[in-house]
Structure 1
């Protein structure tokens, strides 16, 4: 029986730039940064309050995963915001929204009260988009 998810991948255009974005703008912590074969790197980050969930910042490069020009196609799709949807939670959406905007995070949707939560939408430096939510108080 499956008991939990502990890793998830986000495809990024550049690992160094993504690392800077996720650590210095979103406030995540580096979990693992290790060489993995010639020219490869296993790089994961995690939200400070959720160290058991590692987000792998996965580069899009020709090789094992992408063959015959698929990497270039995938890069174009990521740039267009086709992949990378996820939901991050915070305790105070307005404060977090203002803090992230000050750090240069680009928002596609300002904080809005929705039926499911108070939400804003932002994109990372590769084009992946995410929801930032404050759950409804019960």
Structure 2
């Protein structure tokens, strides 16, 4: 029986730049860093150390060579926030591209892009 989604693999072109975006701009923490010494390296990140789901930044080119059948597309991620207005302002202040805050049935939401122009969304959980 599956009990939780543990990790989301995010395949990126530049791991160092993506790590900087997610930690310095989006406020995530590095949970672990793995380097097998043979070209495979990844960073496990999360918004908090006790987050149940984490993002793993993998090198897209390395993964494509090692596992040609893997879908390297960017997953559609929806993050939750308990203070959407403050997060929106923080993202703007850090020059993150953000869309307008809009109302949807789940609450208020906005989109943002990472350093590689992948789109993600944040919704305010009530």
CA distance in 1, matches of 2:95, 2:67: 32
User: Does residue 122 of the first structure (1) align with residue 124 of the second (2)?
Assistant: no
User: Does residue 97 of the first structure (1) align with residue 88 of the second (2)?
Assistant: yes
CA distance in 2, matches of 1:93, 1:50: 21
CA distance in 1, matches of 2:49, 2:36: 27
**Gaps (5+ residues) in structure 1?**
none
How far off is 1:21 after superposition? Answer: 0.4
Task: Encode CA deviations 1:83-124: one digit per residue, 9 max, x unaligned.
Answer: 3310111111111101011112111x2111122210000111
Match in the other structure for 1:59: 59
Deviates more, 1:96-105 or 1:36-45: 36-45
How far off is 1:10 after superposition? Answer: 1.2
Report how many aligned residue pairs link the two structures: 124
CA distance in 1, matches of 2:116, 2:68: 18
TM-score normalised by L of structure 1: 0.80
How big is the alpha-carbon RMSD for the aligned residues of Structure 1 and Structure 2?
2.1
Q: Write the mapping of 1:66-85 to structure 2, written as runs, cut at 5 A.
A: 66=68, 83-85=74-76
TM-score normalised by L of structure 2: 0.87
Check the 8 A contact 2:77/2:121 in 1, yes or no: yes
| SS in structure 2 at match of 1:19 | helix
Check the 8 A contact 2:29/2:49 in 1, yes or no: no
CA distance in 1, matches of 2:104, 2:8: 26
